[in-house]
C-alpha cells in the first residue's frame, strides 16, 4: 500500500473504486495515527531529521500483503527495502522478487544410509540464509539415531562429538513444505502461504508474530525471532529474496524456503550443494527425468508422520 | 403495570440533557469512594504503571525478554487469556437463569456478572496484544483493510467471537442502565434478542478458544475431543466463583444488599459444574495413563515430570488439590452460606482452575516438542509484571463499571419504591 500523493494520481481508472476507498481509508487512518505512532513505527526517534527514511518506512508500514501486490508494487517494495538497507546500515544488497518458475514443483529427498552427520548442510544454511547467530537459529537439524529407529524424535538432536559413529545413522529434518500445511491454515492474516512451485513462504512484513503457525506445525519447521537477529556485517549474504533470506526483524516468523533466492535462479539449495556425501537430492517433481523422480521411483522411500496427511514434499530413502 | 406507566410519565418531566448527565453521573459514581477505595484504586494504578513500563521494555527488545522459546512458544500470557475467556463466558450462568428462566434473584445481580465479563474480555484482548511479536501490525487482522484468513484460521474466529461478545456484553447492560437511570423500564424487544444471542455467543467464545488448541494435529495433548466441553465445565465453575467473590466484596463494602438466595443459587451452579469438571479430568487422566502411548508424554511431563524436567509438577498437584478442596467446600457447606466461608471456597476453586487451565493446559501442549525435546518454561519477572498489569487493568475496569451500575440500580429501586407507595 502506497500512500504518496503522486502515485495516487497515477492510479489507473480500471483499478476501481474499491482500491481508492481502501487507500483513502488507510490514509485517514495514517493521518490520525501519524502524530502518535510515527516514532514507534519507524523504530524510535533517533534520526527524525531524515525525512526520506521516514517516508520510506511509512510506506513500508502501510503496504499490502505481498501476494496482493501488483508486479509494480512488488518492485517498489523491493526497491524501498534496498534503499532502506543502504540508508540505515550503509549496506549494498541485491533483492530479488523472482516469481516461481513455470512447470516446477520442488521436492526433496534425504538419503539416510549415506548421511554421516557432518553438519556441513547446517553450516551452509546458516550462512546462506542470514540466520541469527546470537540465538544460533538453525532451519536444519540432524538427529543421530540408533538402528531400529525411524522416528527422529527418538534420536539425539544435540550431539557434539566426532562423526560418523559406528552403528548410528543420521536424519536431517527441516520444514517439509507440506502440500496440506497446517501452518498455513492456522495463520490469521495469510502471512504464510504455499507458492505455486511448492515452497511455503512467510511475508515477514505481514506476519503479526502470533506464533499460531508454530504451534500448528507437526515437524517443528518454524522459527520465531524473539529478539532482533544479529549477523556480523561481513558475513551477511547480500544476494537476497523478498520471501527468502532478507534480513528479518524481531517478532516475526521465519523458516526454510528451499533457498528461494537460489532455487528460483535454477541453483540447488545451499544445504544440498554443501553436502559432501550427496545425501541430499533436490529437484523438480514435474520433470520425469529429474534425479528426485528417479529416487522416488526406484528407492525405498518414506515420509515422516505420514498419518497426519500433511503431504510433505520431503522424503527419506535408503540405498 | 402501573409502575411502568408512572415511571414513563416521570421521564417526561425530566430535563432533556440527561444523556450527558448520565455519562457525568456515571463517571462521578465510579470515582467516588472512601479512603479505602482510593487506596485500592491507587494500588491498581501503580500496578498498571509498572506493567506498562515493563511492556515498553518488551516492545523495544522483543519477546526475547520473556521465558518463552521456539519450543514453548506460548506462556503466561496465553495461559491467562485462556482462563479469562472462561470467566467471560461464565456470565452466561447468570444471564441464562435471569433472563430466560426469569429468576428474580439472579436478575438483581446479572449486571454484575456482565461487568465481570467485560473486564475479563478486556484482559483477554490485552493478553493477546502483549503476546504479539508485531503489535503495531494488528491492523493486518482487521477484515477489509487487512487480510483475514476466515474461515480457515480458528484464530480469526476467535477474534470475531471475542469482540462480538464484548459488544453484546457492553451494549445490553448499557441500554438497561440507561433506561433505569431515566427511571424507565427497558423495552423488552429492544434488548431481549441480544440477550438470547449473547447466551449462544458465550458458549461459542469458549468453544472457539478450545478449538484453537483442539484443532492442532501437531499437539496430541490438545488434540482431544474432551477439550472443548471440559473448558466449558471448568469455566462455569471458575467464572461464577469469581463473580461470587465480587458479590461478597460488594455486600460487605457497599449499601447494595445482595440476597442470601443469590449465594445459594450460585453455589448450586458452581457445585454442578465443578463436579462435572472433576469427572472429565479423571476421564482424561485415565485415558493418558491407563494406555500409555507416545502421545501421553505431555501428560507425563505435566503430572510426574519427564527426563528430569518437572517444573510443572508442583503446580498441577496444587491446582488439583485446590480444585478438589474448593469443590468439596462448596458441596458440603456446613455454614449454609457464610460469606467468609464462601470466599475461601471460591478463591481456592478458581485459583485451582486458573493454574490448571493456564499453566497446566498450555505449557505441556508444547512439551515434548514435535521433535521430542523436553525443556522447562518459567516466566521472567518482566513477563509476570506485564501480566499483573493486565490483571490490574481488568480489576479496574470491573470496578469502574460496577460502581455506577449499582448506583443506578439503587436509585431506580428507590424511585420505584416511592412510586409504589
Ligand atoms: S513442515 Fe511445518 S512449517 Fe513446513 S510446511 Fe509443513 S507445517 Fe508448515
Ligand atoms: S506468526 Fe506470523 S506467519 Fe505465523 S500464524 Fe502468526 S501471523 Fe501467521
ipTM of the complex: 0.90
pLDDT reading at B158 higher than 60: yes
- Average pLDDT for B111-135: 95
Mean pLDDT in residue range A273-280: 96
Report CB contact under 8 Å: B73, A208: no
Q: Identify the three-state secondary structure at position A14.
A: helix
Fold of the A98-318 domain = Alpha-Beta Plaits (3.30.70)
Count, residues in chain A: 319
pLDDT higher than 70, residue A11: no
User: B168-192: per-residue pLDDT in tens?
Assistant: 999 999 999 999 998 888 888 988 8
Residue B218 CA: nearest ligand 1 atom is: 7
Read off the pLDDT of residues B298-346 as tens digits, 9 standing for 90 and up.
999 999 999 999 999 999 999 999 999 999 999 999 988 889 999 999 9
Which tens digit of pLDDT belongs to each residue from B389-415? 999 999 999 999 999 999 998 888 888
- Decide whether any atom of ligand 2 lies within 6 Å of the A54 Cβ: no
Contacts of B131 in chain A (CB under 8 A): 210-211
pLDDT at B4: 46
Tell me: the pLDDT tens digits for A214-257? 999 999 999 999 999 999 999 999 999 999 999 999 999 999 99
In tens, the pLDDT along B3-37 reads 444 444 444 444 556 678 888 989 898 888 889 99
Q: List CB contacts of B325: < 8 A, sequence separation 6 or more.
A: B348, B352
Beta strands in chain A (DSSP E): 94-96, 106-111, 141-146, 168-173, 192-194, 200-202, 222-224, 239-241, 253-255, 280-284, 300-302, 314-318
Give residue B256's pLDDT band: very low, low, confident or very high (50, 70, 90): confident
Between β-strands A239-241 and A94-96, what pairing exists: parallel, antiparallel or unpaired?
parallel
* A252 interaction partners in chain B (CB closer than 8 Å): 133-134
- Alpha carbon of B396: minimum distance to chain A alpha carbons (Å): 25
pLDDT tens per residue, range B55-70: 999 999 999 999 999 9
Domains of chain B, residue spans:
33-420
Please determine, for residue B240, whether its predicted confidence score (pLDDT) is greater than 90.
yes
Q: What is the mean pLDDT of chain A?
A: 88
What is the structure's pLDDT at A150? 86
d(CA A263, CA B332): 70
Q: Is A105 helix (H, G, I), strand (E, B) or coil?
A: coil
In the predicted structure, residue B379 carries a pLDDT above the cut 60: yes
Q: For residue A220, give the ligand 1 atom closest to its CA.
A: 2
Instruction: Inform me whether the C-beta atom of residue A182 falls under 8 Å from chain B C-beta atoms.
Output: yes
Query: What is the chain B residue with the closest CA to A191?
Result: B147
Helix axes B359-366, B313-331, angle to 10 degrees: 150
Query: Minimal Cα–Cα distance from B276 to chain A, Å?
Result: 29
Grid cell locating A281: 537430492
Give the ligand with the smallest distance to the CA of B371: 1
pLDDT given for residue A24 in this prediction: 52
Ligand 1 near A178 CB (within 6 A): yes
Residue-wise burial string across B217-240, b where 16 or more C-beta atoms lie within 10 A, e elsewhere? bbbbbbebeebbebbbbbbbbbbb
Is residue A272 predicted with pLDDT exceeding 70?
yes
Domain ranges of chain A: 68-94, 98-318
Inter-chain touch A208–B137, beta carbons under 8 Å: yes
Looking at the partner chain, which of B70, B147, B155 has a beta carbon nearest the beta carbon of A212?
Answer: B155
Amino acid at each position: 500500500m502506497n500512500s504518496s500523493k503522486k502515485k495516487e494520481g497515477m492510479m489507473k481508472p480500471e483499478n476501481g473504486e474499491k482500491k481508492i476507498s481502501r487507500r483513502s481509508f488507510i490514509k485517514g487512518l495514517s493521518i490520525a495515527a501519524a502524530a502518535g505512532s510515527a516514532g514507534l513505527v519507524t523504530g524510535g526517534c533517533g534520526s527524525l531529521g531524515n525525512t526520506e527514511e521516514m517516508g520510506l518506512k511509512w510506506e513500508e508500514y502501510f503496504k499490502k500483503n505481498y501476494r496482493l501486490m501488483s508486479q509494480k508494487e512488488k518492485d517498489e517494495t523491493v526497491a524501498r527495502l534496498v534503499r532502506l538497507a543502504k540508508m540505515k546500515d550503509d549496506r549494498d544488497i541485491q533483492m530479488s522478487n523472482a516469481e516461481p518458475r513455470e512447470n516446477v514443483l520442488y521436492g526433496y529427498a534425504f538419503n539416510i544410509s549415506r548421511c554421516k552427520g557432518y553438519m556441513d548442510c547446517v553450516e551452509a544454511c546458516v550462512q546462506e540464509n542470514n540466520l541469527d547467530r546470537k540465538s544460533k537459529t538453525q532451519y536444519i537439524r540432524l538427529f543421530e539415531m540408533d538402528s531400529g529407529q525411524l522416528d527422529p524424535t527418538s534420536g539425539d538432536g544435540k550431539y557434539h562429538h566426532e562423526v560418523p559413529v559406528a552403528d548410528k545413522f543420521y536424519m536431517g529434518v527441516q520444514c517439509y513444505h507440506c502440500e496440506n500445511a497446517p501452518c498455513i491454515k492456522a495463520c490469521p492474516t495469510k502471512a504464510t502461504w504455499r507458492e505455486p512451485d511448492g515452497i511455503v513462504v512467510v511475508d515477514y512484513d505481514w506476519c503479526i508474530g502470533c506464533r499460531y503457525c508454530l504451534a500448528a506445525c507437526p515437524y517443528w519447521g518454524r522459527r520465531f525471532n524473539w529478539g532482533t537477529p544479529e549477523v556480523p556485517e561481513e558475513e551477511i549474504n547480500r544476494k537476497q529474496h523478498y520471501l527468502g533470506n532478507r534480513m528479518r526483524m524481531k517478532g516475526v516468523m521465519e523458516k526454510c524456503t528451499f533457498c528461494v533466492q537460489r532455487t528460483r535462479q535454477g541453483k540447488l539449495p545451499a544445504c544440498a550443494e554443501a553436502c559432501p556425501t550427496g545425501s541430499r537430492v533436490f529437484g523438480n517433481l514435474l520433470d520425469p527425468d529429474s534425479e528426485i523422480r528417479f529416487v522416488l521411483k526406484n528407492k525405498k522411500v518414506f515420509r515422516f508422520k505420514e498419518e497426519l496427511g500433511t503431504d510433505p514434499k520431503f522424503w527419506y530413502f535408503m540405498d | 403495570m402501573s409502575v411502568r406507566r408512572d415511571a414513563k410519565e416521570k421521564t417526561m418531566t425530566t430535563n432533556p440533557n440527561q444523556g450527558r448527565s448520565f455519562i457525568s453521573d456515571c463517571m462521578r459514581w465510579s470515582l467516588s469512594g472512601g479512603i479505602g477505595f482510593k487506596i485500592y484504586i491507587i494500588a491498581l494504578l501503580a500496578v498498571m504503571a509498572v506493567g506498562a513500563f515493563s511492556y515498553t521494555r518488551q516492545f523495544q527488545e522483543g519477546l526475547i525478554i520473556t521465558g518463552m522459546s521456539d519450543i514453548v512458544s506460548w506462556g503466561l500470557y496465553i495461559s491467562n487469556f485462556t482462563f479469562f475467556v472462561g470467566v467471560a463466558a461464565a456470565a452466561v450462568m447468570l444471564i441464562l437463569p435471569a433472563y430466560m428462566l426469569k429468576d428474580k434473584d439472579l436478575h438483581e445481580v446479572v449486571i454484575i456478572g456482565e461487568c465481570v465479563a467485560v473486564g475479563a474480555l478486556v484482559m483477554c484482548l490485552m493478553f493477546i496484544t502483549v503476546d504479539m511479536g508485531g503489535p503495531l501490525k494488528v491492523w493486518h487482522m482487521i477484515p477489509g483493510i487487512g487480510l483475514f484468513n476466515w474461515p480457515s484460521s480458528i484464530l480469526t474466529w476467535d477474534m470475531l467471537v471475542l469482540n462480538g461478545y464484548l459488544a453484546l456484553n457492553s451494549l445490553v447492560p448499557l441500554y438497561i442502565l440507561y433506561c433505569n437511570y431515566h427511571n424507565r423500564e427497558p423495552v423488552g424487544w429492544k434488548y431481549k434478542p441480544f440477550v438470547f444471542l449473547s447466551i449462544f455467543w458465550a458458549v461459542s467464545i469458549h468453544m472457539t478458544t478450545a478449538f484453537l488448541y483442539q484443532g492442532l494435529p501437531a499437539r496430541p495433548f490438545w488434540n482431544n475431543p474432551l477439550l472443548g466441553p471440559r473448558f466449558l465445565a471448568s469455566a462455569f465453575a471458575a467464572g461464577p466463583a469469581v463473580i461470587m467473590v465480587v458479590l461478597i466484596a460488594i455486600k460487605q463494602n457497599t449499601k447494595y444488599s445482595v440476597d442470601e438466595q443469590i449465594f445459594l443459587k450460585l453455589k448450586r451452579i458452581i457445585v454442578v459444574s465443578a463436579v462435572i469438571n472433576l469427572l472429565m479430568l479423571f476421564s482424561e487422566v485415565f485415558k493418558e495413563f491407563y494406555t500409555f502411548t507416545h502421545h501421553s508424554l505431555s501428560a507425563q511431563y505435566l503430572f510426574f515430570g519427564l527426563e528430569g524436567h518437572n517444573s510443572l509438577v508442583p503446580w498441577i498437584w496444587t491446582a488439583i488439590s485446590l480444585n478438589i478442596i474448593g469443590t468439596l467446600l462448596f458441596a458440603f457447606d456446613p455454614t449454609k452460606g457464610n460469606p467468609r466461608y464462601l470466599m475461601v471456597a471460591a478463591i481456592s476453586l478458581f485459583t485451582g482452575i486458573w493454574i490448571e487451565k493456564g499453566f497446566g493446559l498450555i505449557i505441556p501442549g508444547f512439551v515434548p516438542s514435535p521433535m521430542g525435546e523436553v525443556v522447562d518454561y518459567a516466566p521472567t519477572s518482566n513477563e509476570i509484571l506485564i501480566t499483573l498489569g493486565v490483571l490490574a487493568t481488568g480489576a479496574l475496569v470491573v470496578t469502574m463499571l460496577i460502581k455506577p451500575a449499582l448506583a443506578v440500580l439503587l436509585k431506580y429501586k428507590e424511585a420505584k419504591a416511592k412510586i409504589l407507595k
